[in-house]
Structure 1
Amino acid sequence: MQKFFIAIIMMFLSSNILAEGKVLKLGVVPQQSASSLAKVWLPLTLSLSEKTGYQIRFATAPNIPEFERRVAAGEYDITYLNPYHYTVFSKSIGLRAIARQKDKRIHGIMVVRKDSDISDLLMLSGVEVAFPAPAAFAATVLPQAHLRLEGVSFMPQYVSSHDSVYSGVVKGLFLAGGGIDRTLSTFPKAQSDQLKVIWRSKGYTPHAFAVSEELSDEETERIQSALLSLNSQPEGMEILTGLGFKTGLMKSEDSDWNDVRALEIDLLK
């Protein structure tokens, strides 16, 4: 895969596409460090640039609260964001969903060290539990709601990203932490092998690719078509697999996230 990515980069460096196209910023929710995200998202931005003729530039934020601020301020033209964030920003700033992972439901998970005696959420009473951010839908909102439903009194600690949660648990800084299957699967194997999942939530509509209301219908359709075309190309599926989208992408519409809206979550004022 590394050779494939290098080939893509060289192709674009030798073309005029990036020099001529309209510049659009793709904002990605910072579930992992900026360097980790850039490594896996750069091939997608390059591919979309080639297919659309626009300059698609990767962007993120140092943490999820700052990402929320930047989304609210309209800093991104295209945004990849969690289900709850989409329901908030589709209403407040008019984000329009164009794609999501195909045949996928997002599940919140709780992890502990593999050698831990903890095997049930009830065993977390009085324990410091790591979460990425207060409004991280599957990694924070869902597990916290379940813990409270079970009457478990815990102490939440917010550590800025999914990777920080997993590394904190591996290092023994926290006995447990919240995350999702996709980010756990892309976490370095040497460390993820030291973790075990002790709880998984029911499934919900996953993260959205959404565009700003400032983009025209023609621009929106061109971006959506470029995303969906990745499904039919071996190199496209390689890019998607690198992002954890092993089932590919599908066209989406705003009502797909009504299951999340039905939870009536109100965390962002």
Structure 2
Amino acid sequence: MFKLRYTLPAILLLVGAAIYFFGSQPEEKIVRVDMSVRAEIRVPEPRQAITYAYLPQYSHKVSYLRHSKLIDYLSRKSGFALRQVFPDTFEEHRRMVENGEIDISFSNPMTYVEIARSGARAFARIIEPSGSPTFRGQIITRKDNRAITRLEDCIGKTWIAVDRLSAGGYLFPLGLFFKHGIKQSDFKEISFAPGPGGKQEKAVLAVYAGKYDFASIREGTLNVVRDKINIDKIKIVAETEPFPGWVYAARKGLSPKIINKIKYCMFSMSMADPEQAAILYQAGMRGIIPAEDSDYDPVRELAEELGLLHDSQQGEH
């Protein structure tokens, strides 16, 4: 009786407090939405970029490091946004240019001859670190390989090349062999560097490790790999004749306004300017000069001699 006497008033007090607090809240306003009235929201589009690709002769990391400052410089000076893209293979690079996915291609002469067939056009080429607007292919082996001291010693040996579309890393040396009466069938094996990118390095490393008797590379590659191997253990067996250097080409349909502005910025660069010299040096060049499609006619003649133009028409690479 004592418990009931005190418990009942306590319960009534709690119930009253609840009614007071919850019942005294302001009535929630109902918001009615008219679904027939709609407003279109526009999401701001990102600034369109001009795509720039370096033919993947080296790893993507090397390609980026070599050209990142040059791309930044051209973007600042031209007022256009440039974005570097990274094809995995020479063939993918070619297809991307043809499909309009690469606006500005930086490639070897043989790849240029291929993409020119789909309407791409050369507008600039580089001056090599040697100071020449041309470059060569090189045939290399280990210095302690006494079985190969001259070009003819390569007969019956294993050869690792860079890529079927590599100029200095395969096609120029193949042309040199042809001039000396040496055909593909005269070698024990011809292999190509595997995987995406970095193929010049892989060809050198394969010979350095003794996996192949000799390799073909483009002039200048040994300087690129000197931090990975002791290049004093490599010897150059032969060099090809010089061909016009690496080329900048615009895809078919790229605005002449864009091309002309970028050309102006490129041709204005000088080794006499410390900032520009550092950018050019990092990119592996001493300058950029004008180019025309006809500059690469010697490369077309070589491709014709090797039967490559006929093969490319049939889609055989």
Sort the TM-score into its range (normalised by shorter chain).
0.7 to 0.9
The answer to whether structure 1 residue 143 and structure 2 residue 173 are counterparts is yes
The answer to whether structure 1 residue 217 and structure 2 residue 256 are counterparts is yes
Residue 167 (structure 1) aligned to one of 205, 230, 234? 205
**Which stretch shows the higher mean deviation, 148-157 or 134-143?**
148-157
Larger Rg: 2
Aligned to 2:274: 234
SS at match of 2:117: helix
**Which stretch shows the higher mean deviation, 117-126 or 194-203?**
117-126
Aligned to 2:160: 130
1:98-143 CA distance string (max 9 Å, x none): 1112332121111111222121122222222111111212210121
Q: CA deviation at 1:258?
A: 1.4
Residue 190 (structure 2) aligned to one of 156, 160, 169? 156
Unpaired stretches in structure 2, ≥5 consecutive residues: 1-44
Residue 74 (structure 2) aligned to one of 48, 72, 93? 48
Q: Distance in 2 between matches of 1:58 and 1:205?
A: 24
Shift >6 Å, 4+ stretches: none
Aligned to 1:13: none
Residue 86 (structure 1) aligned to one of 91, 107, 112? 112
Q: Distance in 2 between matches of 1:20 and 1:250?
A: 32
Residue 245 (structure 1) aligned to one of 254, 278, 285? 285
Residue 215 (structure 2) aligned to one of 162, 177, 181? 177
Q: CA deviation at 1:36?
A: 1.4
Q: Distance in 2 between matches of 1:128 and 1:205?
A: 29
Does the 8 Å CA contact 2:97/2:251 hold for their aligned counterparts? no
Aligned to 1:6: none
Does the 8 Å CA contact 1:29/1:67 hold for their aligned counterparts? yes
Aligned to 1:57: 83
The answer to whether structure 1 residue 113 and structure 2 residue 142 are counterparts is yes
Q: Distance in 1 between matches of 2:97 and 2:205?
A: 27
Normalised by the length of structure 2, the TM-score is 0.73
Unpaired stretches in structure 1, ≥5 consecutive residues: 1-18
Aligned residues: 249
1:209-242 CA distance string (max 9 Å, x none): 1112222111111111111222253211221122
Normalised by the length of structure 1, the TM-score is 0.85
Q: CA deviation at 1:20?
A: 7.8
Does the 8 Å CA contact 1:27/1:78 hold for their aligned counterparts? yes
SS at match of 1:88: helix
Identity of aligned residues (%): 24
Which amino acid letter does the alignment assign opposite residue 181 of structure 2?
Answer: E
